[in-house]
Homo-oligomer: A and B are copies of this chain.
Amino acid sequence: MDKSTTKQRLLDVAEKLFADSGYHCTSLRKITAEAGVNLASVSYHFGSKEALVEAIFERRLRPLNEERLGRLEAVRADAAAAGRKPTAEEALRAFIEPTLRFRDSAPGARYFLHLIGRALTEPDDAVRSIFFRMVGPLFALLFEVLTETLPNLSRNQVFWRLNFAIGAISRCTFLPEKLPVVPPGVELEPSPDLQIDMLVGFLVAGMEAS
């Protein structure tokens, strides 16, 4: 017997279905049917489908972003206290570790990670705007820290390398069944720590390339 409230169940089910099939392919009827609640409850609790997806982002992304911002600011402060610049590895780990460890942090968090991996390329302008508005300040800070970290690179180069890194990271937030067909002998869902090491090794080398 599921004792959670209607509002909770809507958030949980919608998060999973939006991740699985995307925003537009998931109707409110599918969500309310799978949640076992009435169709009209979406309007009552959230107001609209768009407000529902915004509430989903709000619930998970706000604490995740606060953790990443805090880590980034700590990296900056620690380096300053030691009278040096942060390293690219410190900056990247501050962003990547909370992101990839988020997957196992709560039931349903894996679906949300898939959702934000797709949000970068979301076709719906309103939905993409919700996401960009919430991650914009974080990206801006990461960009600033990386420009300090890599003084040999132009701002343009840092921007594009950060963009490459974002694309690489987003490939780790996808549910394994959504990846392209893969060769045998490959671990489709590595542990977060292994994935972090693979990513950081790859990205630090790319970021620091001459």
B-binding residues in A (CB < 8 A): 21-25, 117-118, 120-121, 123-125, 128, 132, 135-136, 139-140, 143, 155-157, 159-161, 163-172, 174, 178-183, 185-187, 190, 195, 198-199, 201-210
Contacts and interface: CB of A to CB of B under 8 A. Distances in A.
A121 B118 contact: yes
What DSSP secondary structure best describes chain A's contact surface? helix
Copies in the complex: 2
Given A121-B121, A135-B180, A180-B139, A209 B199 contact: no
A29 to B, nearest CB: 16
Contact of A198 (B117, B157, B201, B202): B157
Given A198-B161, A202-B161, A117 B123 contact: no
Given A123-B22, A136-B180, A202-B209, A168 B159 contact: no
Contacts of A121: 117-118, 120-121, 174, 178
Q: Top 7 nearest A-B pairs by Cβ distance?
A: A22-B123, A205-B209, A164-B168, A167-B167, A206-B206, A167-B171, A202-B206
Contacts of A187: 156
A198 B22 contact: no
Contacts of A165: 168
Nearest to A210: B201
Contacts of A167: 167-171
Contact of A118 (B123, B140, B157): B123
Nearest to A204: B209
A168 B164 CA distance: 4
A101 to B, nearest CB: 17
Nearest to A169: B167
